[in-house]
């Protein structure tokens, strides 16, 4: 598995505030990668470092084998849609496309115009008059019309209503199906990530808490309920991620290569949202202080 | 290419079943119900990805699994076509199995199991038997 983005011990400090510290993460090529974590985990900082808008204060980051922002050739291969999908309110859609064409050597004019047409947008319309969903689609068009190898999106759908969100994700998936680009997408909406991503990175407090292909994550995590028992009494090969006990009952979130069934317990699959929440809760509780990822699965 | 779409996929979030398996199940189900039959073309990966807003790799993975099961086969540059069937042979076998299952259910009720206990017993046995067969 080759990495399109590789960060080692990456850190970013603003004055006294440490936005990201000692972050080591790898993004496999050709995947749609979901980046999830609580506010302040350093997701936006990581993404801005990846596209060269920020420079690290410690550690290293490489994108397509180079330092982000180090050459125009590299910048042409990386597309970025910042948080809240910003556009220039006073400029028309046509102006945006002209700007894109001037600034990007690899600009695909036909593709951009076709997309605007397919979306039913009027080129003479000012971006400031567009709805949130339309503005997001315009920002996506600008980022994908340069035909990037790596497309980075920072919470692109957070402010959109469900219909606009679905429309945006449809456009994004159509682009991925056409171009096969690698995408890194941060979002709090795990159900969206489950649809559109095939790889997931859970980042909490600058640390990768869980990483892997989503199918593997889903196939290896279970909720186990039984009469009260200790975590140690579970069979080998079951790693306990979280344990809750009442006087009589125990509930565990376990990671196990296969589903191990036993008459003394019930085992249910864990959905992705609960899986993410479990790792986030455990990390917040500070029970995992080691630097190695708590979980690593690979295809 | 403007062909009739034979089936439409959907993906249920929060089900705990990975999206690719959901697609596989939907094709199998369509085959069982006769909505899909030999020679039908499945929608293209790009169409499914764009319409359902899911990862194209997920669609590919589902189609590959269906191919491994001998239910579909890809023709490069043309599409993925249904080549297998499900269900025909099994239907005639259903009735005797149903009879046995009914007798078993009656016995279970006879010893005082309620509906939920029966369901739990069936599911755990079914799952562990499935695991052992693998």
A158 and A10 assigned to the same domain? yes
pLDDT of residue B134: 67
**Chain A partners of B65 at a C-beta cutoff of 8 Å?**
none
- In total, how many domains does chain B have? 2
Q: Mapping DSSP to helix (H, G, I), strand (E, B) and coil, where does residue A14 land?
A: strand
A35 and A62, same domain (yes or no): yes
pLDDT band at B69 (very low <50, low <70, confident <90, very high): very high
Q: Does A233 touch chain B (CB under 8 A)?
A: no
| Contact with chain A for residue B131, Cβ under 8 A | yes
What lies within 8 Å, CB to CB, of A18 at 6+ separation is: A11, A12
How far away is chain B from the Cα of A258, in angstroms, using its nearest Cα? 9
The predicted model scores a pTM of 0.81
Residue A131, Cα to own-chain centre: how many angstroms? Answer: 24
Residue B98 domain-assigned (yes or no): yes
DSSP label at B39? T
**Least CB–CB distance from A195: residue in B11, B50, B61:** B11
Mean pLDDT of chain B: 86
Q: What is the mean pLDDT of residues B62-78?
A: 92
Say whether both B114 and B62 belong to one domain.
Answer: no
Amino acid B84: pLDDT:
83
What's the whole-number mean pLDDT along residues A176-192? Answer: 92
B58 interaction partners in chain A (CB closer than 8 Å): 198
Regarding an ipTM greater than 0.90, the answer is no
Q: Which two tokens stand for residue A51?
A: 């596209």
pLDDT recorded at residue A40: 84
Sort out which chain B residues have CB atoms less than 8 A from A270's CB and list them: 16
Strands A207-213 and A182-186: unpaired
Residues B25 and B75 in one domain: yes
Q: A219 and A170, same structural domain?
A: no
Nearest to A170 by CA among A137, A212, A202, A143: A137
Which chain B residues have a beta carbon less than 8 Å from that of A260?
131
Q: Which residues contact B65 (CB under 8 A, 6 or more apart)?
A: B20, B24
Chain A CB within 8 Å of residue B125 CB: no
Residues A145 and A281 in one domain: no
Q: A298: helix, coil or strand?
A: coil
Residues A211 and A42: their CA atoms lie apart, in Å, by 16
B51 and A170 within 8 Å at the Cβ level: the answer is yes
Nearest CA in chain A to B128: A261
Contact B17 A269 (CB under 8 A): yes
Q: Enter the DSSP assignment of A65.
A: T
Q: pLDDT value at position B128?
A: 81
Q: How many domains does chain A have?
A: 2
CA distance A94 to A125: 8
For CA atoms A97, A98, A101, A104, give the dihedral sign: negative
Residue from the list B14, B53, B127 with its beta carbon closest to the beta carbon of A173: B53
Q: Tell me the C-alpha distance between A61 and A50, whole Å.
A: 7
A173/B16 touch (CB, cutoff 8 Å), yes or no: no
A32 contacts B53? CB cut-off 8 A: no
Domain contains B111: yes
Test B18 with A191 for CB contact under 8 angstroms. no
Strand-pairing partners, residue A243, are A252
Beta bridge partners of A269: A222
> Any CB–CB contact under 8 A between A273 and chain B?
yes
Phi-psi bin for A86: left (phi > 0), alpha (psi -120 to 50), beta?
beta
Task: Clarify whether residues B49 and B73 are in a common domain.
Answer: yes
Same domain? A141 vs A259: no
B42: in domain: yes
Does residue B71 share a domain with residue B27? yes
Q: Residue B14: name the closest of A212, A117, A193, A281 by CA.
A: A193
Joined together, the tokens standing for residue A170 give 């449809």
Q: Cβ contact (<8 Å) for A195 and B52?
A: yes
Q: Contact, A18 vs A71, CB < 8 A?
A: no
Question: Can you read off the two tokens belonging to residue A236?
Answer: 């080998």
Residues B66 and B100 in one domain: no
Domain match, B76 and B30 both: yes
Residue B14 lies in a domain: no
Judgement on whether residues B55 and B93 belong to the same structural domain of the protein: no
- A243 and A135 within one domain: no
A93 with A170, same domain: the answer is: yes
Residues A246 and A169 both lie in one domain: no
Q: Which two tokens stand for residue B49?
A: 């990805």
- Check if the beta carbon of residue A291 is closer than 8 Å to that of residue A207: yes
Kindly report the nearest CA distance between residue B51 and chain A, in angstroms: 6
**Is the CB of B16 less than 8 angstroms away from the CB of A266?**
no
Pairing of strands B79-82, B41-42: antiparallel
Residue A200 sits in a domain whose CATH number is: 3.40.50.300
Instruction: Say whether pLDDT at B1 is over 70.
Output: no
Are residues B72 and B94 part of one domain? Answer: no
**One domain, residues B52 and B101:** no
Joined tokens for residue B100: 């046995």
Q: DSSP for B51-111?
A: HHT--HHHHHHHHHHHHHTTSEEEETTTEEEE----SHHHHHHHHHHHHHHHHHHHHHHHT
CA distance A139 to A131: 12
Q: A125 is in which domain, residue-wise? A: 3-212
Rounded (10°) CA dihedral B50, B53, B57, B59: -80
Q: Which two tokens stand for residue B92?
A: 């005639």
Mutate to test the interface with B, among A191, A195, A258, A273 (most CBs of B within 10 A): A195
Same domain? For B30 and B73 the reply is: yes
Q: Mean pLDDT across chain A, nearest whole number? A: 90
Residue B78 falls within a domain, yes or no?
yes
Q: What is the percent of chain A where pLDDT is above 90?
A: 68
Instruction: Choose the closest CB to A261 out of B15, B55, B124.
Output: B124
Which domain-ending residue is among B82, B98, B114?
B82
Could you list the residue range(s) of the whole structural domain that residue B75 is in? 19-82
Q: How confident is the model at residue B5 (pLDDT cuts 50, 70, 90)?
A: low
Chain A residues whose CB is inside 8 A of the B19 CB are 194-195
Q: List CB contacts (< 8 A) between A173 and chain B.
A: 49-50, 53-56
For residue A11, give the 3-state DSSP assignment.
strand
Are residue A208 and residue A221 in the same domain, yes or no?
Answer: no
| Predicted local distance difference test score (pLDDT) of residue B87 | 67
CB A199 within 8 A of CB A28: yes
């Amino acid at each position: 598995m080759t990495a399109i983005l590789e960060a080692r011990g990456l850190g970013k400090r603003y004055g006294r505030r440490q936005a990201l510290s000692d972050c080591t993460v790898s993004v496999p090529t050709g995947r749609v990668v979901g980046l999830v974590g609580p506010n302040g985990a350093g997701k936006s900082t990581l993404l801005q470092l990846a596209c060269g808008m920020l420079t690290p204060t410690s550690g290293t980051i490489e994108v397509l084998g180079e330092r982000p922002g180090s050459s125009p050739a590299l910048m042409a291969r990386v597309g970025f849609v910042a948080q809240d999908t910003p556009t220039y309110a006073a400029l028309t859609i046509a102006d945006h496309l002209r700007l894109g064409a001037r600034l990007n050597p690899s600009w695909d004019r036909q593709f951009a115009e076709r997309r605007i047409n397919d979306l039913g947008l009027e080129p003479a319309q000012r971006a400031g008059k567009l709805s949130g969903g339309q503005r997001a689609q315009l920002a996506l068009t600008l980022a994908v019309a340069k035909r990037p190898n790596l497309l980075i999106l920072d919470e692109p759908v957070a402010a959109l209503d469900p219909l606009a969100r679905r429309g945006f994700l449809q456009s994004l998936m159509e682009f991925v199906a056409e171009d096969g680009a690698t995408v890194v997408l941060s979002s709090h909406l795990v159900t969206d990530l489950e649809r559109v991503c095939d790889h997931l990175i859970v980042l909490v407090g600058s640390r990768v808490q869980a990483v892997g292909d989503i199918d593997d994550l889903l196939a290896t995590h279970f909720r186990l309920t039984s009469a009260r028992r200790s975590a140690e009494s579970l069979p080998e090969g079951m790693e306990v991620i979280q344990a809750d006990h009442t006087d009589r009952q125990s509930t565990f979130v376990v990671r196990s290569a296969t589903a191990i069934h036993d008459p003394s317990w019930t085992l249910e699959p864990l959905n992705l949202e609960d899986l993410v929440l479990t790792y986030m809760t455990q990390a917040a509780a500070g029970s995992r202080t080691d630097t190695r990822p708590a979980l690593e699965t690979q295809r | 290419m403007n062909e009739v779409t034979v089936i439409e996929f959907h993906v249920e979030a929060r089900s705990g079943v990975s999206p690719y398996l959901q697609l596989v199940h939907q094709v199998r189900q369509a085959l069982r119900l006769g909505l899909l039959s030999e020679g039908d073309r499945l929608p293209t990966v790009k169409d499914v990805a764009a319409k359902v807003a899911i990862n194209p790799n997920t669609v590919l993975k589902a189609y590959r699994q269906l191919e491994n099961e001998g239910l579909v086969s890809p023709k490069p540059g043309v599409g993925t076509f249904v080549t297998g069937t499900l269900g025909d042979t099994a239907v005639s076998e259903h009735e005797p199995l149903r009879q046995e299952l009914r007798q078993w259910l009656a016995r279970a009720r006879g010893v005082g199991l309620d509906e939920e206990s029966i369901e739990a017993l069936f599911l755990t046995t079914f799952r562990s038997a499935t695991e052992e067969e693998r």
